[in-house]
Structure 1
Amino acid sequence: MSKRNKKKNVTREPKQRVKDVYVARPFEGLPDEVDWIALRELVPAATAPLKLAEPFASQYPDREVTLATVLPLAWPAMTKPDGRVIVALQRQFQSGDVSRDIAASLLAALETEPGQTVGVPALPGEGPRLQDLLVAEPLDVTLHDTFEFWIDEEAAGDPQVKASLERANASIYPTVRVESMPGAYWCDVTDRCHLRIVLPDSEPTALAALARLSADGGLRIGIDTKFAGMFRAHGVLVPVWDLPIDVKAADCEGPVAEFAKRYAAALAVEEPLDAAQRRARDGLIGRQLTLR
């Protein structure tokens, strides 16, 4: 028998597969769930400080952690030379559990030497989620007009860094939080303005309330606004209104407060939808767009 025809017995270790689990509402249970969703899906540039819960706070003492909407090149996290950690809500790869993804990014950053590149697996597998890592307190959100929070002062003079920052800043559109209802944000996208409200209730519950409002003419916010449709994001609904270009965020406070009252009243109704409300619900479903 020639050597070419001989077969060697080679033992191969089976590849370990990472089990992926889909979580429809990954931010459920966190205070300000609506703001977590808004910062991930709607707001271009924002940050918020995070506080580690025990035992992680004791394991990583004196580590300042900041949440950011997005980081350069969709990095999952970065560590500063002084030990500060910035973790992104958006990242290049994601599993079926966004909360677990961000928690894995945060843990990887905490375990990375300050100033070094953070490596994070595409599928993190089992482990703590944000709900396990963080102290349960509301987000203190700061909206930014630029992405300058990415870089330190000494790096700002680098021509390549400056050019990259300018490109990123060009993608930012003005965004303002509307304080009269949680999860409400006004934005100016050059040729028109929008109002977007992340609703805290489950999709079926929110849809039924919106259908009641639609059938009764209560879905409009202000005289000149137009209901544009809804996003489906992380297990909740995000209705969107088109606004006249001259309507600013401050102008929305009163109308949004009134809408919040109408929406709360519609939520409290326990009777099944009538025929007109069911037709309104079907119309709303036809104007949904899922954010992935």
Structure 2
Amino acid sequence: MAKRTAVRRAARTSDGINPRQPCPCGSGRRYKACHGAPGGAVDAMVNRPFEGLAAETELIALREFVPSATTPLPLAEPGEREITLATVLPMAAAGLVRADGTALVGLQVQTRSGDVSRDVARAVRWAMTAEPGEALPVVGPAGPDDQVRLQDLLDPAAGLDVTLHEDFSWWLPADVTPTGEVAASLERANAAIMPTARVDAEGVTAAYWVDAGDKAHLRWVRPEPEERLLAALARLSVRGELGLGENTRYAGSFRAHGLLVPVWDLDREQHPREWSEPATALGRRLADVLASVDEEPLDEAERRARDGLRGRQITLR
């Protein structure tokens, strides 16, 4: 038994991180394959890379779980070329410029940097001046004098005009028919998509309906600090007001780039549009209790509910 305990202790790094656990940078990879890899990033990890941007919650959704979407980037100083932010580009490229000069930057990219905002900003700056037909496979390490971030490039008060796509046919110009390996790659990418729809409702942002196969979910990126949000969710739970209606339940939450993403199980038979009104109502209830938890401490029942919610962490598939 002592030998096994020693092995388990040795499996942790000097920082106390289990190499098999998700990397604290929020990349979604195991620590041993990300910042714990040989030659991994040595720069400081930024826990909340999109903080300060009105589009923070949408950027997190696009990076973490929205499969196929594009949006024009609201640059603070627009140049001659519009930059389109995409969830995924062909070959998971960090950026590309089509033959017609259309520039795209990928958000769901592999990186060892500790600052996603800086990496995307470097791809944006590359796309501004790259020649038509060029591609940026990956963003390399940043030098000490190359610290520009998205916060330096975007209008901080601007939101995102997100367009969801049913597949990845937008990867190619409309007049191009894919063949050979390109067609096979496109088919593989399309096959991996889970149907996703944005929940358009009053006062609701960064909330998405997702069909996971056996059930549907609502994934909602929230901007509040985690402890404050958990307190509000706990108060709603004790009141029996945490659901979205019949045949729904609060499933748990996951953390992404410094924010909490609550998840609800939904009735898969209902159309995504049918969740707009329930989401609006839940948003209003949540706003009310968020104000109350700042003034009224949680009672014993609410504290127990909060502890239970804190332990209900889920894993995306």
- Asked if 1:280 is matched to 2:275, the reply is no
- Preserved contact between residue 45 and residue 70 of structure 1 (Cα < 8 Å): yes
Question: How far is the alpha carbon of 1:94 from its aligned partner?
Answer: 3.6
User: 2:67 — aligned with what?
Assistant: 44
Q: Which entry has the higher C-alpha Rg, 1 or 2?
A: 1
Structure 2 CA distance for aligned equivalents of residues 157 and 22 of structure 1: 39
Shift of residue 124, structure 1, vs aligned partner: 2.5
User: Distance in 2 between the 1:213 and 1:114 partners?
Assistant: 53
| In 2: Cα distance, 1:95 partner to 1:174 partner | 30
**What's 1:127 paired with?**
147
User: 1 CA distance for matches of 2:119 and 2:212?
Assistant: 30
Answering whether residue 44 of structure 2 is matched by residue 21 of structure 1, we say yes
Distance in 1 (CA, whole Å) between partners of 2:304 and 2:62 is 32
CA distance in 1, matches of 2:163, 2:135: 25
Conserved in 1, the CA contact under 8 Å of 2:94 and 2:123?
Answer: yes
What is the distance in 2 between the residues matched to 1:116 and 1:53? 25
**Deviation at 1:177?**
0.9
Cα 1:290–1:192, aligned 2, differ >3 Å: closer, same or farther? closer
Partner of 2:109 in structure 1? 91
> Amino acid of the residue matched to residue 100 of structure 2?
D
**CA distance in structure 1 between the partners assigned to 2:215 and 2:139 by the alignment:** 40
Query: Residue 296 of structure 2 corresponds to which residue in structure 1?
Result: 271
Equivalent in the alignment of 1:159: 180
Q: Distance in 1 between matches of 2:122 and 2:230?
A: 33
Q: Provide the C-alpha distance between the structure 1 equivalents of 2:208 and 2:265, rounded to a whole number of angstroms.
A: 12
> Is this contact kept in 2: 1:48–1:140, CA < 8 A?
yes
- Asked whether the equivalents of residues 18 and 124 of structure 1 are also in contact (C-alpha less than 8 Å), the reply is no
- Does the 8 A contact of 1:104 with 1:120 survive in 2? no
Equivalent residue for 1:110, pick from 128, 133, 138: 128
* Of 54, 65, 77, the match for 2:95: 77
Question: How many pairs align?
Answer: 270
- 1:179 correspondence with 2:179: no
Deviates more, 1:166-175 or 1:20-29: 20-29
Residue 191 of structure 2: aligned partner:
170
2:151 counterpart SS class = helix
Q: Identity percentage over the alignment?
A: 52
After TM superposition, list the pairs within 5 Å mapping 1:197-216 onto structure 2: 197-216=220-239
- TM-score w.r.t. length of structure 2: 0.80
How many Å apart are 1:133 and its aligned residue? 1.0
CA distances 1:112-164 after superposition (whole Å, capped 9, x unpaired)? 32212225444324411111112332101000001111122454333221111
Q: Amino acid of the residue matched to residue 234 of structure 1?
A: H
Measured in 1, the distance between the counterparts of 2:135 and 2:277 equals 46
What is the Cα-based RMSD across aligned positions, in Å? Answer: 1.9
In 2, Cα distance between equivalents of 1:251 and 1:72: 33
In structure 2, what is the equivalent of residue 12 of structure 1? none
Q: What displacement does 1:32 show?
A: 2.5
Secondary structure of the residue that 1:288 maps to in structure 2? coil
* Whole-Å separation in 2 of the counterparts to 1:35 and 1:284: 24
Inter-partner Cα distance in structure 2 for 1:175 and 1:116: 30
Q: Which residue of 2 aligns with 1:142?
A: 163
Deviation at 1:290, TM superposition (A): 7.2
User: SS of 2:136's equivalent?
Assistant: coil
Unaligned stretches of 5+ residues in structure 2: 1-39
Distance 1:43 1:96 in 2: 22
Picking from 174, 189, 197, the partner of 2:212 is 189
**Distance in 1 of aligned mates of 2:271 and 2:205:** 18
Unaligned runs of 5+ in 1: 1-16
What one-letter code is carried by the residue in structure 1 that aligns with 2:298?
L
Q: Cα distance 1:148–1:133, how it changes in 2: closer, same or farther (>3 A)? A: same
Equivalent pair of 2:93/2:137 in contact (CA under 8 Å): no
